[in-house]
């Protein structure tokens, strides 16, 4: 009740006084708003779980708004929804493995990076932007250069892996700018060029794609061995 009343009061005061935001502060507002909403949703969940604490909520809300300087948004996984006559998230096809991924900072202009990136890049990127040195070896790369408008560190491919279950057999693959290569547990191989958006044409046995297939097989062997330690 108090929160709702405070919201109404804030809206009314904003309409009456029409405060302006300094230009230097404007880039921070989207991040501050998202950080505030994060604290609000956390408070709602705490209330539903019966562990809400007003002091903790206030400290969380204020600190989120004041400290927030970086937002990372990414999807967990997608669903094939009928592609390749499959339904689920366990498959190496575009709708499953290519998910939204965005980083928002107040100092960087909007841009799109065409290089393959991965969720293993997030921890190292945040650490680098914070000036921290992780104690554990990072599997990914620092995406900070892309945020600053510079080229990313060279990386030939992103490794993909599924251990298998009762619904989908195991597979391993690599995602590159050129396309997607997959080796399934039964030995069946798939190679799709990046221009084949719906991955309808497996060219692993096509003569003109043999050089690409050899490169991707070598990348998979190398990255797979690295991932297994």
Supply angle C-alpha 74, 116, 110, rounded to 5. Answer: 60
Distance CA 226, CA 219 (A): 10
CA distances from 22 to 19, 64, 80, 160 (A): 10, 20, 46, 45
Residue-wise pLDDT for 204-215, tens only, equals: 999 999 999 999
Q: What pLDDT, on the 0 to 100 scale, is given for residue 194?
A: 92
Residue-wise pLDDT for 48-76, tens only, equals: 999 989 888 888 888 888 777 788 888 88
Q: Which of 17-26, 83-92, 192-201 has the highest mean pLDDT?
A: 192-201
For the chain, how many helices (H) and strands (E)? 7, 6
Q: What are 159's strand-pairing partners?
A: 174
Distance CA 43, CA 56 (A): 9
Of residues 52 and 182, more confidently modeled: 182
* Domain residue ranges in the chain: 2-68, 79-227
Q: What is the pTM of this model?
A: 0.76
Residue-wise pLDDT for 108-156, tens only, equals: 888 888 888 888 899 888 888 888 888 888 888 899 898 888 888 888 8
Q: What pLDDT, on the 0 to 100 scale, is given for residue 158?
A: 92
């Amino acid at each position: 009740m108090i929160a709702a009343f405070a919201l109404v009061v804030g809206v009314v005061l904003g309409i009456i006084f029409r405060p302006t935001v300094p230009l230097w502060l404007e880039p921070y507002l989207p991040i501050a708003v998202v950080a505030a909403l994060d604290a609000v949703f956390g408070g709602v969940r705490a209330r539903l779980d019966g562990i809400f604490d007003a002091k903790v909520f206030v400290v969380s809300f204020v600190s989120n708004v004041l400290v927030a300087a970086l937002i990372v948004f990414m999807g967990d996984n997608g669903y094939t929804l009928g592609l390749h006559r499959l339904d689920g998230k366990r498959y190496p096809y575009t709708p499953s493995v290519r998910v939204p991924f965005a980083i928002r900072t107040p100092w960087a202009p909007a841009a799109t990076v065409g290089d393959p990136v991965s969720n293993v890049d997030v921890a190292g990127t945040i650490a680098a932007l914070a000036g921290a040195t992780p104690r554990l070896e990072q599997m990914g790369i620092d995406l900070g250069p892309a945020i600053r408008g510079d080229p990313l560190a060279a990386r030939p491919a992103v490794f993909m892996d599924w251990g298998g279950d009762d619904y989908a057999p195991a597979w391993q693959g690599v995602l590159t700018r050129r396309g997607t290569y997959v080796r399934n547990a039964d030995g069946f191989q798939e190679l799709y060029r990046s221009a084949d958006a719906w991955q309808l044409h497996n060219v692993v046995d096509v003569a003109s794609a043999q050089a690409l297939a050899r490169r991707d097989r070598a990348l998979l062997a190398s990255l797979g061995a690295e991932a297994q330690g």
